[in-house]
């Protein structure tokens, strides 16, 4: 079943399109099910309603762990590399993983967590974060991992949206030279979250914390006492596995829902095929489990495949810009998966940080999160892959659960900055603004998918209508990705970036509306408009136009306060790179901000601003051009 040649790929692809049920039945039969499914697929992209492996019963953790124990209980599931290279590295075997997950699962049960309850995980990149996800899945609780860089108010919003019962966290986190307080952020968030009954705190950095009596418990006091075996809850294929919040073009972040059966089948299938991982290899994905990449290709995909992976706590530039390469040599990593922003930052640091390392264990390189520019691709290929490692440029989204368009390592002929071809089961289609299909090659349009794959988003938590509106209403009968895309003369796909009001900063999705609403919280801000602009390292930077009253204080001080406000409301990842104070924004007579003009100015392309005659006050455009940051 695994793809081992381009012919295999072509055959698998055709099979998946001509007879999707038969194709996915075969893939799914490779897993351990408590009860087989009665029907493979039922779908409707209007409502939307998608179900895979209907009536099937399973527990994903039995497939991630128990299934592997007879043959590989002593194999290493995770090599943990701490932030500080001199810190305590750890190896966790599949048997230890089993025991640690079961102990934590039993602890959650003791705290009253039952099937269907939501549990928030707000933790740094330590093995316990993975145990936490799996412990929830073990007992049928739904995890909601929140990236530990988000602010208290973002965390609170996510806890409230899905009424989490328990929060799993740590005292603090190490990030590079910084020692960050984590528990105090949870404390602040919980001031407004009445659903939370307990907080389990893993002592990691040893920093002082406040423990609220009756609510907060130390992990190290509770978990080791619990039994090292825990029956795996029987889950329906369509029971919720997790919620992961992501930003869109409007409103608050939404809780993307993934379910047990389809997500399991698809993440494992794509992991094994795209990376061509074989027994004995060592995989390293540098993402954080707070994002979908960490969910699918640190926790679930690799464990489902029985793989060994590196789990890294730190950052690429600590203690210096050679850290990734040092870790690759230390563990003899064979498969390395990272983001273009990291590649560009390490390229900028210079080759002196690369040459001390051999990097000769590497066989496959991967890229994810944003378009990889050709320059960065070539640098990665030449200096890290030594021109012998294929680069898989994997395109996908939080909502897709797994990779959709990607080369298969060593099999699909590569083309720099192209995600190349759809994986089996994925049927992309390009459409114009009106939703008409753009056929043929050498074309460009909005990227949609016309047929469900097993790990497609099922709903947005608590608001199904929002899911319909966001993904299934723009173009009738299609899943709309929000991305623009080219198809070249050979049918290869190249993602050109978002076509909606979403900015991709260092591979992180930021909604412009969210940043604007944070900026507008500042008392001296009348109104704001946020757009993206090209940034050498981050891919895109955040450019904010802010209207302040003429009486406002010193503009430099105001800008600093605005940045602090965004930090506080969303987190440092959303802070504007540039702020321009303006007296007005270009608006149409109906009051709509003309973002096209703001984008052009931010990009530095003021030669042709297009038609400005429909503006209420065309003179603001001149002021904006003159004041460009």
Q: Nearest to residue 272, comparing CAs of 281, 326, 379?
A: 281
Q: Nearest to residue 202, comparing CAs of 234, 173, 159, 176?
A: 173
Is 469 exposed, middle or buried, given 0-12, 13-18 or 19+ CB atoms closer than 10 A? Answer: middle
User: b/e map of 251-267 (b: 16 or more CB within 10 Å)?
Assistant: ebbbbbbbbbbbbbbbb
User: Is the CB of residue 280 less than 8 Å from the CB of residue 274?
Assistant: no
371: contact with ligand WT7 by CB under 6 A: yes
Mark out the alpha helices in 510-581 (DSSP H runs): 512-519, 555-569
Which of 481, 512, 528, 540: binder of ligand WT7 (CB under 6 A)? 481
Q: Which is nearer to ligand WT7, 30 or 497 (CB)?
A: 497
396: contact with ligand WT7 by CB under 6 A: yes
With CB under 6 A as the contact rule, which of the stretches 138-146, 502-510, 561-569, 597-605 interacts with ligand WT7?
Answer: 502-510
Q: Which is nearer to ligand WT7, 189 or 495 (CB)?
A: 495
**Helices 152-161 and 183-190, packing angle to 10 deg:** 60
User: Is the CB of residue 306 less than 8 Å from the CB of residue 283?
Assistant: no
Is 561 exposed, middle or buried, given 0-12, 13-18 or 19+ CB atoms closer than 10 A? Answer: middle
Which of 124, 482, 532, 586: binder of ligand WT7 (CB under 6 A)? 482
Separate counts of helices (H) and strands (E) for the chain:
20, 30
Q: Which is nearer to ligand WT7, 344 or 498 (CB)?
A: 498
Count CA within 13 A, CB hemisphere, residue 185. Answer: 32
With CB under 6 A as the contact rule, which of the stretches 173-181, 233-241, 289-297, 517-525 interacts with ligand WT7?
Answer: 289-297
Which of 161, 187, 313, 483: binder of ligand WT7 (CB under 6 A)? 483
Q: Which is nearer to ligand WT7, 151 or 446 (CB)?
A: 446
Least separation in angstroms between residue 59's CB and ligand WT7 is 25
Which of 419, 456, 457, 566: binder of ligand WT7 (CB under 6 A)? 419
369: contact with ligand WT7 by CB under 6 A: yes
294: contact with ligand WT7 by CB under 6 A: no
Mark out the alpha helices in 29-72 (DSSP H runs): 60-64, 69-72
User: Is the CB of residue 291 less than 8 Å from the CB of residue 344?
Assistant: no
471: contact with ligand WT7 by CB under 6 A: no
- Whether cis (ω within 30° of 0) applies to the bond prior to 48 is yes
- Kind of pairing, strands 142-145 and 172-175? unpaired
> Which 222-261 positions form the footprint of ligand WT7 (CB under 6 A)?
246
Least separation in angstroms between residue 367's CB and ligand WT7 is 6
Which of 161, 239, 370, 516: binder of ligand WT7 (CB under 6 A)? 370
504: contact with ligand WT7 by CB under 6 A: yes
412: contact with ligand WT7 by CB under 6 A: no
Q: Which is nearer to ligand WT7, 264 or 419 (CB)?
A: 419
What is the longest distance spanned by two Cα atoms in the chain? 74
Which of 104, 148, 190, 292: binder of ligand WT7 (CB under 6 A)? 292
Q: Which is nearer to ligand WT7, 129 or 582 (CB)?
A: 129
Sign of torsion, CA 496 395 289 373? negative
Least separation in angstroms between residue 498's CB and ligand WT7 is 5
Please give the sequence-ordered ranges of beta strands (E in DSSP) within 203-291, or none if there are none. Answer: 216-218, 235-236, 240-246, 254-259, 283-285
Which of 309, 334, 397, 460: binder of ligand WT7 (CB under 6 A)? 397
Q: How far apart are CA 198 and CA 215, in angstroms?
A: 5
427: contact with ligand WT7 by CB under 6 A: no
376: contact with ligand WT7 by CB under 6 A: no
Least separation in angstroms between residue 394's CB and ligand WT7 is 5
> Which 510-549 positions form the footprint of ligand WT7 (CB under 6 A)?
none
Which of 395, 475, 479, 545: binder of ligand WT7 (CB under 6 A)? 395
Q: Which is nearer to ligand WT7, 371 or 424 (CB)?
A: 371
Q: Which is nearer to ligand WT7, 259 or 455 (CB)?
A: 455
267: contact with ligand WT7 by CB under 6 A: no
- Interior CA angle at 93 toward 91 and 96, to 5°? 105
158: contact with ligand WT7 by CB under 6 A: no
Least separation in angstroms between residue 291's CB and ligand WT7 is 6
Least separation in angstroms between residue 162's CB and ligand WT7 is 18
DSSP reduced 3-state for 265? helix
420: contact with ligand WT7 by CB under 6 A: no
Which of 258, 335, 487, 509: binder of ligand WT7 (CB under 6 A)? 509
Q: Which is nearer to ligand WT7, 281 or 393 (CB)?
A: 393
Which of 76, 495, 519, 585: binder of ligand WT7 (CB under 6 A)? 495
Q: How far apart are CA 487 and CA 490, in angstroms?
A: 8
Q: How far apart are CA 37 and CA 60, in angstroms?
A: 15
- Residue closest to ligand WT7 (Cβ): 398
The dihedrals phi and psi of 333, each to the nearest 5 degrees, come to -65, 135
Which of 154, 198, 398, 460: binder of ligand WT7 (CB under 6 A)? 398
Count CA within 13 A, CB hemisphere, residue 131. Answer: 29
Least separation in angstroms between residue 180's CB and ligand WT7 is 22
Q: Which is nearer to ligand WT7, 322 or 482 (CB)?
A: 482
Q: How far apart are CA 306 and CA 300, in angstroms?
A: 10
Least separation in angstroms between residue 426's CB and ligand WT7 is 14
Q: Which helix (H) or strand (E) holds 487?
A: strand 479-487
- Interior CA angle at 272 toward 269 and 274, to 5°? 95
368: contact with ligand WT7 by CB under 6 A: yes
With CB under 6 A as the contact rule, which of the stretches 198-206, 274-282, 321-329, 396-404 interacts with ligand WT7?
Answer: 396-404
Q: Which is nearer to ligand WT7, 165 or 509 (CB)?
A: 509
Phi-psi region of 118 (alpha: psi -120 to 50; beta: other; left: phi over 0): beta
How many positions of this chain bind ligand WT7 (CB under 6 A)? 25
Catalog residues that contact ligand WT7 under the rule CB under 6 A: 246, 291-293, 367-371, 393-398, 419, 481-483, 495, 497-498, 504, 507, 509
């Amino acid at each position: 079943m695994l793809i081992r040649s381009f012919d295999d790929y072509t055959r698998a692809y055709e099979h998946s399109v001509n007879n999707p049920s038969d194709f996915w039945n075969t893939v799914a039969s490779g897993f351990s099910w408590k009860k087989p499914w009665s029907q493979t697929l039922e779908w409707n992209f209007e409502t939307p309603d998608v179900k895979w492996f209907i009536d099937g019963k399973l527990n994903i953790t039995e497939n991630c762990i128990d299934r592997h124990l007879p043959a590989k209980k002593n194999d290493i599931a995770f090599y943990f590399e701490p932030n500080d290279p001199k810190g305590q590295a750890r190896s966790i075997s599949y048997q230890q993983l089993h025991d640690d997950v079961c102990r934590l699962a039993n602890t959650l049960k003791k705290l009253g967590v039952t099937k269907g309850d939501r549990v928030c995980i707000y933790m740094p990149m330590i093995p316990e974060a993975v145990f936490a996800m799996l412990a929830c899945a073990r007992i049928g609780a739904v995890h909601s991992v929140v990236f530990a860089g988000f602010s208290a108010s973002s965390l609170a919003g996510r806890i409230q949206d899905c009424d989490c019962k328990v929060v799993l966290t740590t005292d603090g986190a190490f990030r590079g030279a910084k020692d960050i307080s984590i528990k105090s952020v949870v404390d602040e968030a919980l001031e407004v979250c009445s659903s939370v009954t307990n907080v389990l705190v893993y002592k990691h950095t040893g920093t002082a914390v406040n423990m609220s009596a009756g609510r907060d418990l130390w992990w190290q006091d509770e978990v080791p006492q619990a039994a090292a075996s825990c029956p795996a809850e029987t889950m329906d294929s369509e029971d919720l596995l997790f919620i992961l919040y992501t930003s869109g073009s409007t409103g608050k972040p939404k809780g993307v829902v993934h379910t047990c059966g389809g997500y399991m089948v698809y993440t494992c299938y794509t992991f094994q095929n795209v990376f061509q991982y074989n027994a004995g290899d060592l995989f390293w994905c540098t993402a954080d489990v707070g994002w979908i990449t960490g969910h699918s290709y640190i926790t679930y995909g690799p464990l489902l495949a029985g793989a060994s992976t590196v789990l890294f706590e730190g950052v690429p530039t600590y203690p210096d810009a050679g850290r990734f390469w040092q870790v690759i040599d230390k563990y003899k990593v064979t498969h390395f998966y990272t983001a273009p922003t990291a590649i560009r930052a390490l390229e900028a640091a210079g080759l002196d940080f690369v040459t001390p390392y051999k990097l000769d264990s590497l066989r496959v390189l991967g890229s994810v999160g944003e378009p990889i520019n050709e320059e960065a691709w070539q640098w990665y290929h030449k200096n890290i892959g030594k021109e012998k490692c294929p680069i898989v440029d994997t395109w996908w989204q939080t909502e897709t659960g797994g990779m959709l368009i990607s080369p298969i390592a060593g099999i699909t002929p590569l083309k720099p900055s192209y995600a190349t071809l759809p994986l089996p089961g994925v049927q992309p289609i390009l459409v114009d603004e009106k939703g008409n299909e753009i056929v043929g090659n050498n074309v460009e349009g909005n990227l949609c998918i016309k047929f469900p794959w097993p790990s497609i988003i099922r709903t947005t938590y608590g608001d199904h209508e929002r899911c319909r509106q966001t993904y299934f209403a723009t173009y009738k009968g299609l899943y709309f990705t929000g991305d623009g895309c080219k198809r070249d003369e050979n049918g290869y796909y190249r993602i050109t970036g978002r076509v909606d009001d979403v900015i991709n900063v260092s591979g992180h999705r930021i909604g412009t509306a969210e940043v604007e609403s944070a900026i507008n919280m500042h008392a001296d801000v009348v109104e704001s408009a946020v757009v993206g602009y090209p940034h050498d390292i981050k891919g895109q930077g955040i450019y904010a136009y802010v209207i302040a009253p003429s009486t406002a204080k010193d503009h430099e001080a105001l800008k600093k306060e605005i940045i602090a406000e965004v930090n506080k409301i969303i987190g440092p990842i959303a802070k504007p790179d540039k702020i321009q104070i303006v007296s007005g924004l270009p608006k149409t007579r109906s009051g709509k901000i003309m973002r096209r003009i703001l984008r052009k100015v931010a990009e530095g392309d003021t030669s042709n601003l297009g038609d400005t005659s429909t503006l209420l006050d065309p003179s603001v455009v001149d002021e904006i051009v003159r004041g460009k940051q």
